[in-house]
Structure 1
Amino acid sequence: MKPCAVLVPIIFWAGAACALTPNQWQYRQSIDVPATGLVQINLPLETSNIARPDLSDLRIIDSNEKEIPFLMDQPMPRSESSVLVKDFRAEIVFAETRLLITTGSDSTIAGVVLETPASANFIKAARVEGSNDQKDWRMLTSGVPLFRTGNGAANLRVAFPEGRWQFLRIVVDDDRTPPVPWTGARFIVAGSPAPTEPVSVTIKSRDENPGMTRLGIDLGAANLRIASIRISTSEPVFTRTVTVAAPELSAQNLQEDILSSAVLYRVDLNGRVEANLELPIDTQIFGRELVLLIDNGDSPPLLVSEVRADRRITHLIFFAATPGAYSLLSGNSQCETPRYDLSHLGDQLRRAGTTQGQVSLPAQTVSYIAAANLPQNFATGAKIDVASWKFRKPIQIAKPGAQQIELDPDILARAAPDFRDLRVVSENAQLPYLIECTSIERTIPFNTETANDPKRPTLSRWQLKLPQAALPLRRVSCASTSALFERTFRFWEELTDERGDQYSRELAQTTWRRVPNQPAGQLAASFAAPPKTDTVLMETDNGDNPPIELHDFRGYYPATRIIFASSKSQSIGLYYGNEEANAPRYDAKLIAAQLLRSERTPAALGAQEILKSERVAETLTGSARYIFWGVLGIVVIALLVLISRLLPKTT
């Protein structure tokens, strides 16, 4: 018998933990162990969804409910690295550019990243050859696309099968387009792979904004370490910069945190189609949602039919003294992290022979003690008196659990700009919530009228009317049928100060230009601050040119959501419109941990209810104010004269 086989049970028995109380764990899964010895199980994604993010609440027990020590093995790839080449030479020979590279390294090389100052658009095919003596050259790859496009998408990397090469020769095809100046290169030192398995994902939402497509992706579980994402599209030729983001808790709100960005493409090089549709991430996603932001530039939206993902695998290795039934426990937020002292033996245990155990789906633990974990009423906050709130909208939920509501223009216009006065209330008690600030932009049309000044005939002026005041507009866009122009546009609004005087508040100033043969895209301007009124004024000086024609005016505001948990039986309302309210203080981390791992159900908002009349203040402006005070002065003088005549005269 091998010494290692004898030491394994001794090591695990020495690390055996004390007895535990299994019904303090919310979930239980059975492990079928076919034979005595080392057993390895693959942790199901259903377990990752209900366990702590760091998996520190996992426990394995035998049929006698005795805790069994285990080793957690999470194989991770070794990252690639780039190194500046020792020597780089470029020469143009006929219709091709030849790049001779001396690597000066014995490392395993997986590719080369080229450097060029060229800013113009180009797309070229390249082939790569490798040699160790500059005499015998071996073809490594051919037809690799190198490109840079106007929307910022670029691919300057040439990948090829891993190998050790002292010299590399890259030949760039210049037959169809002029040569590009190549100034340097870095070779890619190969990393090492790690096992993955596919994850079934769902496209939950698709939002189109000018130049940008936003896809909401449901991973089906939380706490997964996603290795990469791949898209499927029927578009024959395209290049797009794609960014992956995930909701993360920041300052009591959920913000979209950027995880990764890459250029995805499908190009045709002389009849040969080359594509890269995969975006690496290698990040643990604590929620179950991802956001894909596809930069379309001036191109039509990319039609994505499917999204696929791969996740990193987690293994648990333990010693089974007897075959039979074991249990995996999870779902305990209060237990301490186990200390089995097995990590230093990880390499030996990974090399040892193991038997594969089968794990069932999670089930609720019988006689589960909820008091040992989260309180049952974690979703209910403090009592509240809503007498000071002006508005209410009823919330209609379809099923119990995590709820999601997008704030509509009524709420955005009447709530505090920082949403400190929002309250979700049920039976006079607050329901804690999170605010999610998304990258989605909603459009709202303007009621547009020309407002030209006859005294200034060179000016073109428009009055853009909003449905209501104080909407948090970020920007405005419009279209033009004019083929050639360059104009500077000014946006402002008219406000009244506390004394009744009017003044202009600048919102934006931008220059729009268009030349012949340029795509007729949208003209857009970003506001420095949202308008306070319901009227935005816009003007430009045409000079000696014909007046510019503009149409299709639109405003854009960010989509903001609130997320909370509720049961179906509750009567719920969203209250807003209280200038004196302070921002609520909830246990944001606890709420986020619960809500991000849950599948959200969109809830509906009812009609607005006015609870408290808004104070209406009318202010006299301009000459009317002086007329008012003049008349008031005359009345006062007349009253004084009348009173003086009524007083008895002294003798």
Structure 2
Amino acid sequence: MLFAATLAAQTPAPGAAFRFERPIVVAADGPHRLAIDVPLLAGGNPFRVLSRSGAAADRAGRDVVATATGGLTDLRLFDASGNEVAYLLVPNPTVEPAWRAAIAILPVAPVETEKEKTSGFEADLGGLLMIDRFRIEGLSPPYLKRIRLEGSGDRARWTVLAGEGTVFDLPDSRLRQTELSFDAGSYRYLRVTWDDARSARVAQAPSVAAREISTASVRAPLTTPVAFERRPSEPGRSRFHMRLPGGRLPVAALALDVAGGHVLREVEVYEARLAGAEAVPALIGRGTLKRVEQGSLAAVALRVPIEAPIEPEIDLVVDDGDNPPLDVRAITAEFAELPWIYFEASEGSLAARYGNPSLRAPNYDLEAARPALRIERVTDATWGVPRTRTADENAVGAAPPLPTVGAPVDASTFRFVRDIPAGAAGLIAVRLDEAALAHSNGMPSRFGDVRVIDEDGRQIPYLVERSSEPLSIDVSLAKLSTRPGALGPSRGSETVYRASWPYAGLPSPRLVLSTSARVFRRPIHVVSEREPDRPHRDPWVETLGTAMWVHADQDTPAPALVMPLPSVDATQVLLIVEEGDNTPLPIGGARLLLPAYRMRLFRERGQSLRLAYGRTDLAPPSYDLALLAPRVFGVSAVDVPPGPEREGRAGGAAAIVSPRLFWGILIGAVLVLIGLIARLVRKPTG
């Protein structure tokens, strides 16, 4: 249902005043509050996120680092008679957390058997308190201890608050966690049981405190799982492409779940943002993933704070260093602190309607009640299942759509034309593959010769996006038994390979080589064979790149070699490995990394489009980005690969001159030249 709401939010129905309607169940008369959830955020107008620092905390005492404000301006509530119901967005009041120190600490007799080694203590808070967090201080670092925490009101009946908690203070790793959270409850006594089976017994008596709250009904921070996939990347990096439930969500951080073992890796988070005439990767967050393990205990910090993304698609880049690729098992998005929806209504059902970007926030008389509100004491209402409203249900028509076509252009004047498959209406992303990169004018001209053309010969406006991940293509390696003559005589023991890729003129290529060898040192050269020319009487080679490939650890695999190369007007190059007096280095595989681009554009339902490129006389297209950009950012795009490349009518070197005219001019020039030679031959000598 969340997916359906998100998809419909991104493709509003024509004439819809509100895209969504959602029932609200009110169990009693009087004031009520509603929690803002993910479907509402995905379908309603976006929030702004304000970051805050310091010791500010909400009523439950949670640290608040980001607050969402100014959103859901399009939300309207209606009763069963269709009358509008006033509401307010009310944040949790901020207060300093109140920590209550234990007035007495009593040791618990240790247990030491073959199966169990424990010790601990009981702490007396002095009276019944509503608490939700436990803090321990006064232990000398470094330490990493497994802990069991129980609570009681009378020391007779105990409740497990944390069955397998962990506290640690590791200064060398800059990891510290001395607090445990649990479901709020009323307790006077706390019992701590240390697991001493894998670590030394705690010698000194610590100081203990519990965090008191005023109510147990304050909402927990909103989170949602994120769909992700591993994407191609250069050696030493892991890239993950994530799809959020919608665009412009007030996400404040990403929490990662990774496979076991020590972890210390730098991570960055990117999204596409407009820069000039193209969309480029923009850094929206960075951090360090840390985990230290001692036996079955682990100190963990796997959270990355980020700016609130505009796009529903973001990328996580992990610097793996010399480690294997990071094994990410799950990613969770953590939202900024959200307000409550407060309203006053009688028992029954209400309807919430939202999904109209043009609506401003309402201004109700209910605002006068805000100063006296105590949102933590208000009764909860509950949401029903959202649905998409039909055009017939809306009394107000939608604004006219933005134009989606540009000036006409003749597709037959381009060297290459490719079909873009028809499909559902909406935003699509057409990836520019290696053929398009090789045969178009490329990024130096801002893809000035690339056009998307509909069946009526009209241009479809698009926006070029540069991806953070590279485009990876396989390279064919063939070991040569005969040394090419262009290399000249051998200067020592060398292995020569012929590397082949599908197209000449690929931009900014990086050659990636892998090997199964563990200990080696080899100079590597990449050269291109050239025909004789004025400076060279014989075939010769042009050096494209040189690198020293070294690895000296028998216990770890050798990292791949990455060689930046210039763009070369050939589909084959020679790879030369200087072996010295060693056995030939086994080359396991090769691939080419290229800059990756895609075009964002809108496609009508069933529309037949063509991708055309291959002209030298065109300037970059000038579309109205002020209109286009708001429509293509913050909306999920469906990847659509273009069809196979075929030559247009203008195929060939002379895209403007027809073959008949070319051969006519050539024949005429030959006849004139023959006539001049004949006259010179007949002319009598002096």
Place the TM-score, normalised by the shorter chain, in its bin.
Answer: 0.5 to 0.7
Corresponding residue of 1:280: 304
Tell me how far 1:424 sits from its aligned partner. Answer: 2.5
Deviates more, 1:364-373 or 1:287-296: 364-373
State the SS of the aligned residue for 1:519: coil
Q: Between the two proteins, what is the percent identity of the paired residues?
A: 19
Q: Which runs of 5+ in 1 are unaligned?
A: 1-21, 80-108, 113-123, 129-139, 148-154, 163-189, 618-633
| Alignment partner of 1:457 is 2:491 | yes
Distance in 1 separating the partners of 2:292 and 2:591: 35
AA partner of residue 457 (structure 1):
R
Contact kept, 8 Å, 2:290 with 2:302, in 1: the verdict is: no
- 1:361-409: CA deviation from partner (whole Å, max 9, x where unpaired): 1532654779864534654444433232111111224544333333222
Question: Which of the numbers 620, 631, 647 marks the counterpart of 1:583?
Answer: 620
- Secondary structure of the equivalent of 1:284? coil
1:200-235 Cα deviation digits (max 9, x unpaired): 432355445422222222222222222433334444
Tell me the SS of whatever aligns to 1:439: coil
The aligned counterpart of 2:556 is 519
Once residues 585 and 599 of structure 1 are traced to their aligned partners in structure 2, the CA distance between those partners, rounded to angstroms, is 24
Match of 1:44 in 2: 37
Q: Kindly indicate whether residue 452 of structure 2 is the aligned counterpart of residue 424 of structure 1.
A: yes
1:510-554 deviations in Å (ceiling 9; x for gaps): 333233536342442342643343234455767x75586362333
Matched, 1:311 2:335: yes
Cα shift readout 1:260-314 (whole Å, capped 9, x = no counterpart): 3333354432x24314263232532222223222333333333333333332353
Alignment partner, residue 436 of structure 1? 465
In the alignment, does 2:247 pair up with 1:211? no
Match of 1:72 among 65, 89, 101: 89
Task: Please identify, of 342-351 and 215-224, the stretch whose mean Cα deviation from structure 2 is larger.
Answer: 342-351
Q: Which amino acid aligns with 1:530?
A: S
Aligned partner of 1:609 in structure 2 is 646
| Contact map agreement 1:70 1:340 (CA 8 A) in 2 | yes
Alpha carbons of structure 1 residues 480 and 597: separation in structure 2 relative to 1, 3 Å: closer
Q: What's the offset of the Cα at 1:415?
A: 1.6
One-letter amino acid of the structure 1 residue matched with residue 74 of structure 2 = L
Task: State the distance in 2 between where 1:610 and 1:575 align.
Answer: 10
Instruction: Tell whether the 8 Å contact from 2:291 to 2:302 is kept in structure 1 after alignment.
Output: no
Determine if contact 1:421/1:578 at 8 Å carries over to the other structure. yes
Correspondence 1:553 to 2:571: no
* Equivalent of 1:466 in 498, 501, 507: 501
Q: 2:278 aligns with which of 253, 268, 284?
A: 253
How far apart are the structure 1 equivalents of 2:533 and 2:403? 46
SS of 2:178's equivalent in the other structure is strand
Aligned mates of 1:565, 1:605 — CA distance in 2: 15
Contact map agreement 1:333 1:374 (CA 8 A) in 2? no
Conserved? CA contact 1:459–1:539, under 8 Å: no
Change (3 A) 1:516 1:207: closer
Shift of 1:615: 0.9
| CA offset digits 1:463-498 (Å, max 9, x no partner) | 433222012343112235666554554545467999
Residue aligned with 1:411, SS: helix
Whole-Å separation in 1 of the counterparts to 2:628 and 2:91: 28
Deviates more, 1:571-580 or 1:24-33: 24-33
Measure, in 2, the Cα distance between the counterparts of 1:283 and 1:75: 22
Amino acid across the alignment from 2:88: L
Q: In 1, distance between residues paired with 2:279 and 2:380?
A: 40
Secondary structure class of the residue paired with 2:681: helix
- For the 8 Å contact 1:395–1:572, the answer to whether it is kept is yes
- Superposed CA offset, 1:97-134 (max 9, x none): xxxxxxxxxxxx9999xxxxxxxxxxx95469xxxxxx
In the alignment, which residue of structure 1 is the partner of 2:683? 644
Structure 1 residue 300 and structure 2 residue 324: aligned? yes
Matches for 1:230-249 after TM superposition, within 5 Å: 230-249=255-274
Of stretches 476-485 and 249-258 in structure 1, the one that deviates more from structure 2 is 476-485
Q: What SS class does the counterpart of residue 413 from structure 2 fall into?
A: coil
Match of 2:46 among 50, 53, 58: 53
SS of aligned partner of 1:387? helix
Indicate how the Cα distance of structure 1 residues 78 and 581 shifts in structure 2: closer, same or farther if over 3 A, else same: farther
CA separation in 2, counterparts of 1:608 and 1:336?
Answer: 48
Distance 1:420 1:498, change over 3 A: farther
- TM-score normalized with structure 2 length: 0.63
Alignment match of 2:411 (pick from 383, 386, 405): 386
Q: Which segment is superposed worse, 475-484 or 564-573? A: 475-484
Confirm or deny: 8 A CA contact 2:493 2:581 kept in the other structure: no
Shift of 1:581: 2.5
- C-alpha deviation, 1:414, in angstroms: 0.8
Q: Distance in 1 between matches of 2:369 and 2:136?
A: 35
Distance 1:613 1:499 in 2: 31
- Range moving further from structure 2, 515-524 or 433-442: 515-524
Q: 1:77 to 1:616 in 2, by over 3 A?
A: farther
Q: Check the 8 A contact 1:229/1:310 in 2, yes or no.
A: yes
Match of 1:564 in 2: 601
- Report the CA distance shift for 1:267/1:392 in structure 2 as closer, same or farther (over 3 A): same
Query: Measured at CA, do residues 597 and 260 of structure 1 come closer, stay the same or move farther in structure 2, by a change above 3 Å?
Result: closer
Partners of 1:76 and 1:636 lie apart in 2 by 99
Aligned partner letter, 1:440: E
User: Any conservation in 2 of the 1:237–1:266 contact (CA below 8 Å)?
Assistant: yes
Amino acid at match of 1:159: Q
Q: Are 1:530 and 2:523 an aligned pair? A: no
Report the 3-state secondary structure (helix = DSSP H, G, I; strand = E; otherwise coil) of the residue aligned with 2:356.
coil
CA contact (8 A) 2:21 2:388 kept: yes
Most deviating of 488-497 and 413-422: 488-497
Q: 2:440 — aligned with what? A: 415
Distance apart, 1:566 and its partner CA: 2.2
- Distance in 1, matches of 2:567 and 2:584, equals 26
Residues 323-359 of structure 1, C-alpha deviation per residue, up to 9 Å, x if partnerless?
5555444333334455669999866535574333334
Q: Tell me if 1:157 matches 2:175.
A: yes
Does the 8 Å CA contact 1:195/1:312 hold for their aligned counterparts?
no
- TM-score norm. by structure 1 comes to 0.66
Distance in 2 separating the partners of 1:459 and 1:298: 30
Q: Which is worse superposed, 229-238 or 469-478?
A: 229-238
Q: 1-side partners of 2:265 and 2:248: how far apart? A: 28
SS of residue paired to 1:394? strand
